[in-house]
Every structure is written in C-alpha cells, then in structure tokens.
Amino acid sequence: FAPWEDPDAKAFIRFDNITKRFGEFTAVDDLSLDIYEREFFALLGPSGCGKTTLLRMLAGFEKPSEGRVFLDGHDITDVPPHRRPVNMMFQSYALFPHMSVEKNIAFGLKQDRMPKGEIADRVAEMLKLVKLEAFARRRPDQLSGGQRQRVALARSLAKRPKVLLLDEPLGALDKKLRGETQFELMDLQMELGLTFVIVTHDQEEAMTVSDRIAVMNEGRLVQVSTPAVIYETPGSRYVAGFIGDVNFLEATVVTAEDDRFELTSDKWATRIVATAGDHRAEPGETAWLSIRPEKMRISLDQPEDTSVNCVPGEVWDVAYLGDISIYHVKLDSGEIVKSSVTNLTRLVERPITWDDRVWLSWPRDAGVVLTR
C-alpha cells in the first residue's frame, strides 16, 4: 500500500487550509495538502501559480496569511527557518564563488558551531555521496554546471534535514545532463530515505522523479495523484493539456453512467464510447473525449466496424522523431488529431505518409470523457 492509499497513514507534511496574500493579491488560496514521509513529491504548474510560495512557507521564509503548516505532527507555522529540519536548494545554486567546494559544503555546519572534526567527517561523507571527492579544493567557477549543482545538493544535505525542498533545481542544466541528474536525485532520495519536495514547471521532470504530483493553477490544487493516474485519467482539460500531448474531441453527452460514457456529434458517423469520465456529465451537455496520441490507432485500411470510436481523415503532417512518428491527421470534420506510432511498424509495413487517406480508431478504455 502506498501511504496515500492508506486511510490510516500519518501525513509527514501537512498544509492545513493555507492562504497567502501579498497585499490584495492571493498567491495561495485555501490550500490543503498532505505529503508522506519518504515521498518524492512534485509541485507542478505554470509560472505564477504559487508553487514557490508554497515551498517557501514550508521552509519558513514566508508566513501564511491563514492556515497552519505541520511537520511530523508538530505545528511549525511560527518556527523560524533555521530551526526547521527542512532545507532548500535553489536553482541559482547560490554557491559562494570565493570558497572551495569543501568550504561551501561546510559553511552551514560551521555556522551551527559543529566541532571541527565532525565537520570534516560530514563534508567527506557528502563529497562521497555526490561523487565529488576529487573536486574538494576547486572553486565553483572551476566546475561544470552539473558539478556545481551537485555541490549545492551536498551543501543542502550536509545538515541532514528531514525534508529537502528543491526549487527548479535542474533549470540551468542542458537536457541530457538534466535527464541523468534526475535519476541521480531519485537514487539519492531512496538512499537517504528523505522526503523531497520539488517545484518545477517541467512536466516531464515531474513525471520522471516523483511518486506523486500536485498540479496547481492560480493558487489552488487542481489534481493530486501519481504520474500515471494524472496522465491516464486527468480530471480536467487543464490537467490533460498540462501533462503530455493530448487530443480533445468535442461532442454531446448521450450517456454518462458508471463505466459507460457515450457521446455523439453530427460531425461524425461514429459514436464515441468510453469507460471512464466525469460522472457529473449530463445528457445533452457538451463534453470532450480526452485521448493521448499514442492511444489513437492509425491505419490505411478501413476497420471492420466504423460505428464506434472510428473517424476518417487525411494525413496533414508527419514528424519523424526516431523512436516514434507523430501524425497530424485532418479529420473530414475539420479537426486536427494527433496519432503517434512507434517506428517498429516501419519494418513490416509501408509507412503512412503525407496525404494518405487514413482511419483513426481507439479502444473504449483509451480515453476519458471530460466536462470542463
């Protein structure tokens, strides 16, 4: 059982009805959220949605206008930052440029008046942890971006916080290094058994590293779940569109009961049938089938049964990406729908190409019916 599926699990971090106002402006709006011990948790959302403000309230750099913050059962709302077992790592690294790597890592420990011998041991331990033993005496400007990022990580872990907060930690790294560092972060988090909370606006990064993701918009949570649930069954078009690529087919609700959702439109001869969706959907209302491009089958041959989940069109554009190809298909009804296919099929079939007449079809459990 994952802790978030266990009704008896105790929250490690709890935001309890948190509101944060800056003057007239509400940056975080009556938000409640539980994060569990040893979780790798991501706050994801567009610029200005309040992610950093939420993180800063956990670190103690901001005070909520209303509500309380709890850590391990204790109310820490009024505890100053340096007294919280929480540390924050920033995108800008904020390393001291004139200090060596080891001095940078030792800095916070010295401030806490840790005995010299212990500091040396801790610094050695941290250097080993981030695999920078050979770089102890270098200055930050003598390191690569990835190495600097690891020094910053070592420094923020040196005091052995219970919670590490990461604010866009990999923003300055190039794509390849970013990918590698994401896996290093996950390994480190497992190894140390710490709780990590990361702020990012990169959905791929959030999906890669985290156990759960909170998608935010305008100071509120819109969906909190595992990457797979958010990707497969987004609760709204906002969430579906924020995570990954998606198609929306607009139609009218006929049925929205239990596990049978049916939509029709006079644009198509086919009916749209799905097994998942929003049960608030009312017959007659407009709704959207939300379906990922990789779930849209594309074929040159007309399927046997075209009466359900099957629409004809013409290939408008093809992007060959090596592992997959993405087809933009212009339906006869005018919409552009994306279908992505693995290029494995190119070995056995004639690849579909520009201007081909094609059929798009999809299984009933491939999409979700959304009403907002």
Q: Does 203 bind ligand ATP (CB under 6 A)?
A: no
Q: Please report whether residue 57 would count as binding ligand ATP according to CB under 6 A.
A: no
Contact flag: residue 201 with ligand ATP (CB under 6 A): yes
64 interacts with ligand ATP by CB under 6 A: no
Q: Which residues contact 257 (CB under 8 A, 6 or more apart)?
A: 279
**317: three-class secondary structure by DSSP:** strand
For residues 293 and 338, the answer to whether their CB atoms sit within 8 Å is yes
The residue count for binding ligand ATP (CB under 6 A) is: 12
- The answer to whether residue 44 forms part of the interface with ligand ATP (CB under 6 A) is no
From candidates 47, 193, 228, 301, binder to ligand ATP by CB under 6 A: 47
51 binds ligand ATP (CB under 6 A): yes
Question: Least separation, in Å, of the C-beta of 61 and ligand ATP?
Answer: 10
Work out whether 53 is an interface residue with ligand ATP (CB under 6 A): yes
**Shortest distance (Å) from residue 59 CB to ligand ATP:** 12
45 near ligand ATP (CB under 6 A): yes
Contact window for ligand ATP (CB under 6 A) among 2-10, 22-30, 118-126, 181-189: 22-30
Find how far residue 279's CA is from the centre of its chain.
26
Question: Pairing mode, if any, of strands 195-200 and 40-44?
Answer: parallel
Among 48, 241, 283, 351, binds ligand ATP (CB under 6 A): 48
Complex with ligand ATP: residue 31 or 49, whichever CB lies closer: 49
What is the residue-wise DSSP string for 129-193? Answer: HTT-GGGTT--GGGS-HHHHHHHHHHHHHTT--SEEEEESTTTTS-HHHHHHHHHHHHHHHHHHT
Among 46-54, 184-192, 273-281, 325-333, the segment contacting ligand ATP (CB under 6 A): 46-54
**Token digits for 287?**
């709704």
- The reply to whether 293 sits near ligand ATP by the rule CB under 6 A is no
Kindly tell me which of 126 and 163 has the beta carbon lying closer to ligand ATP: 163
- d(CA 260, CA 334) in angstroms, rounded, equals 27
Checking DSSP bridges between strand 74-75 and strand 66-71, what pairing results, if any?
A: antiparallel
Q: Single out the segment in contact with ligand ATP by CB under 6 A; choices: 44-52, 186-194, 242-250, 334-342.
A: 44-52
Q: Is 52 in the site for ligand ATP (CB under 6 A)?
A: yes
The piece of 19-27, 70-78, 90-98, 333-341 that touches ligand ATP (CB under 6 A) is 19-27
Does 24 contact ligand ATP by CB under 6 A?
A: no
- In the chain, the amino acid numbered 236 is S
Q: Are 194 and 164 in contact (CB under 8 A)?
A: yes
213 CB burial (10 A radius; 0-12, 13-18, 19+): buried
Distance between CA atoms of residues 326 and 338, nearest Å: 7
User: Residue 200 carries which side chain, given as an amino acid letter?
Assistant: T
Binding interface with ligand ATP (CB under 6 A)? 22, 25, 27, 45, 47-53, 201
